[in-house]
Chain A
Amino acid sequence: MKAIVWQGTNKIGVETVPDPTLLLPTDAIIKITSTAICGSDLHLLDGVIPSMEKGDILGHEFMGEVVEVGREVKKLKVGDRVVVPFNIACGVCDPCRRGLFSACDNSNPNHRMAEALYGGTSGGGLFGYSHMYGGYAGGQAQYVRVPFADIGPHKIESDLSDEQVLFLTDIFPTGYQAAEQCGIIPGRDVVAVFGAGPVGQFAARSAQLLGAAHVIVIDRVPERLAMAEAAGCQTINYEQDDVLVALREATGGRGPDHVIDAVGMEAHGHGPGALVDTAKQRLRLSFDRITALRWALLSCAKGGTVSLPGVYGGLIDKVPMGAAFAKGLTFKMGQTHTQRYVAPLLARIEARQIDPSFVITHRASLDEAPDLYKTFRDKHDGCIKVVLNPWA
């Protein structure tokens, strides 16, 4: 089959690889009908996520049709149309039973690798996202093996198109969880979203769905800001304005009640902090550049929530902890517990409260994907979200 393969930093290629097979009786094989490139895949392109190996198949936002099931799979059968959450969860461990699916104890075969870095504990496995997260082959391919097939995949039985439901696998739940964990008081709270990429767009619209009085989106790319404005958000271009001053002005000096950092570890930005981050990242002294996180802590209102859907990987410094303490902020963060959100968000799509396909700007074949990784990263050609058809 055809697959998108990580060949090294800044080297992503299309290769012909063997078709996946069932490895355990709880596996299923899915023929992929639609798959997407995620903003977090760009951290892999840039080589800032440790434990990638040459030959790894990428991709964690995909859906398709079940073509084979292991003998212990009960809920899925051949022919079912499914969306597949990007995280892999066993469904029975203590975190899974509490709905913390991304923190699954049992789905990561390389727990030792993550434990060494993260204090003796590891997260669950992820599709196509480094060996620290299990080393599972991803879904930017024609077929994929799905472990724990009774836990993750969710059947789509309505006539919604792939493009309307595909993002239930990651960016919609990720943006929604980011907004939900702010604890927005409807009609009262102002929410600021740093980063108007796909997750930022869904975080902003989710904040609206949850009743935010006002949503402000911060980015520097005109077409991303235009997309947020189209949803009724106020926007700030941080290259033209001083973000902290603009946010104070927009909120009567209070600051946003909640701030969502939908940027994560590879923030752009200015000033000495950003320069130090970049230098340290180049020297491999640090994995993360944290301008967005600093702005989030400095801008958030007293008693507010800082919600982090953006991915962080390593150790960070120059965190304005004094500001966070002085204002009594709450931090909420982590990988998305996608399995928890698929059904309720599908219901919102079916009720026409949101059509997630608004975010798509580019459609392509697998062969075009390596170029589109770069188009997406460099934000050329108005690129916000790429969907791939593995059979085109």
Chain B
Amino acid sequence: MTQDERSTPTDSTSEHTPSTGAHMPALERSVVGSVGVALMGAGLRSARPLQKLVLGTVGAGLAAMAATGRNPIATALKIRQGAGGEVLVGDAVTIGRPAAELYALWRPLENLPQLMTHLERVEVLSETRSRWTVKAPTGEVSWEAEITADEPGRRLAWQSLPGAAVENHGEVLFRPAPGNRGTEVVVRLAYRPPAGTAGAIVARLTGEEPAQQLRDDLMRFKREQEVGHAPTTEGQTSGRAAKGGEA
């Protein structure tokens, strides 16, 4: 990723590069196109009419996706992508606590795994540099990142350093909510999924995906700060427990 493509926001009022819908990178287009053509061929050779129809239709669909560079599945799943092909994720929550207090919980980056459960650990290397590790289906994935903006009580921004396994950048904003309602915590992330748009779709469909994880993390953070714990029904009694199943 070149400096130009990073589209790192420069101040707290900036927005992400407008979403362009799902735009497939060139490598992904050629892979998807080849698979599509292969399926169409298999469909044409098939003796069974149903198989002919299904393989032919799916194959033609993939080929069309590759030809246009647009992924309608990603679009339908509302996977937002930036002009550079990176996946954009953003969410927000209002928490009944002062901004300075919430910022103070985020700034020591080594505490972040407590707020974001999919983070394995964050090691602070210097004032601005840190090493991030997440759990992945293939094991652990690590990268180094640097803080690109730090406005105490207002905003924190970071980006991964060149060579990261998962290129990413993002920011957290802490905005006072109108009417004494506390703080609006806004998180914006941009990352390149290891397997391109297809990887983002698979992650979305299996529920293991940053947009979902971010939502859960923000709600858990809000509940910790407002109530002191997350509500639960885990371990409660039910008719399932009586039959030896899970409660």
Minimal beta-carbon separation of A74 from chain B (angstroms)? 13
Q: Is B215 an interface residue (CB 8 A)?
A: yes
Say whether A23 contacts B237, CB under 8 Å.
no
Say whether B242 contacts A90, CB under 8 Å.
no
Q: Which of B56-82 contact A (CB under 8 A)?
A: none
A93 to B238, CA, bound (A): 29
Q: Is A55 an interface residue (CB 8 A)?
A: yes
A111 to B241, CA, bound (A): 23
Q: Is A109 an interface residue (CB 8 A)?
A: yes
Pick the interface stretch among A10-18, A158-166, A345-353.
A10-18
Say whether A136 contacts B233, CB under 8 Å.
yes
Say whether B219 contacts A111, CB under 8 Å.
yes
Say whether B227 contacts A106, CB under 8 Å.
yes
Q: Which of A136-153 contact B (CB under 8 A)?
A: 136-137, 145, 147-148
**Chain A positions within 8 Å of B181 at CB level:** 94
Q: Is A7 an interface residue (CB 8 A)?
A: yes
Nearest residue (CB) in A for B93 is A105
Say whether A19 contacts B237, CB under 8 Å.
yes
Q: Which of B209-240 contact A (CB under 8 A)?
A: 212, 215-216, 219, 222-223, 226-227, 229-240
Minimal beta-carbon separation of B217 from chain A (angstroms)? 12
Say whether B239 contacts A5, CB under 8 Å.
yes
Say whether B237 contacts A137, CB under 8 Å.
yes
A4 to B18, CA, bound (A): 53
Q: Is B108 an interface residue (CB 8 A)?
A: no
Say whether B219 contacts A55, CB under 8 Å.
no
Q: Is A336 an interface residue (CB 8 A)?
A: no
Nearest residue (CB) in B for A135 is B233
Pick the contact of A18 from B212, B233, B234, B237 — CB < 8 Å? B237
**Chain B positions within 8 Å of A92 at CB level:** 96, 226-227
Q: Is A24 an interface residue (CB 8 A)?
A: yes
**Chain A positions within 8 Å of B235 at CB level:** 21, 23
Interface size class of B (residues with CB under 8 A): 20 to 34
**Chain A positions within 8 Å of B234 at CB level:** 23
Say whether B226 contacts A17, CB under 8 Å.
no
Say whether B236 contacts A145, CB under 8 Å.
yes
Say whether B239 contacts A54, CB under 8 Å.
yes
Q: Is B48 an interface residue (CB 8 A)?
A: no
A93 to B225, CA, bound (A): 10
**Chain A positions within 8 Å of B142 at CB level:** none
Minimal beta-carbon separation of A137 from chain B (angstroms)? 5
Say whether A57 contacts B239, CB under 8 Å.
yes
Minimal beta-carbon separation of A390 from chain B (angstroms)? 14
A314 to B100, CA, bound (A): 41
**Chain A positions within 8 Å of B236 at CB level:** 20, 23, 136-137, 145
Minimal beta-carbon separation of B226 from chain A (angstroms)? 5
Say whether B239 contacts A56, CB under 8 Å.
yes
- Give the A-binding residues of B (Cβ under 8 A): 94, 96, 181-182, 212, 215-216, 219, 222-223, 226-227, 229-243, 245, 247
11 contacts between A and B (CB under 8 A): A15-B239, A15-B242, A55-B239, A57-B238, A94-B94, A105-B222, A109-B232, A111-B219, A134-B233, A136-B233, A137-B236
Instruction: Please name 16 further chain A to chain B contacts, defined as beta carbons within 8 Å, in addition to the given A90-B231, A105-B226, A106-B231, sorted by A numbering.
Output: A6-B239, A17-B241, A18-B247, A19-B237, A21-B235, A24-B232, A26-B229, A57-B237, A88-B231, A94-B94, A97-B96, A106-B226, A109-B233, A112-B216, A125-B231, A147-B231
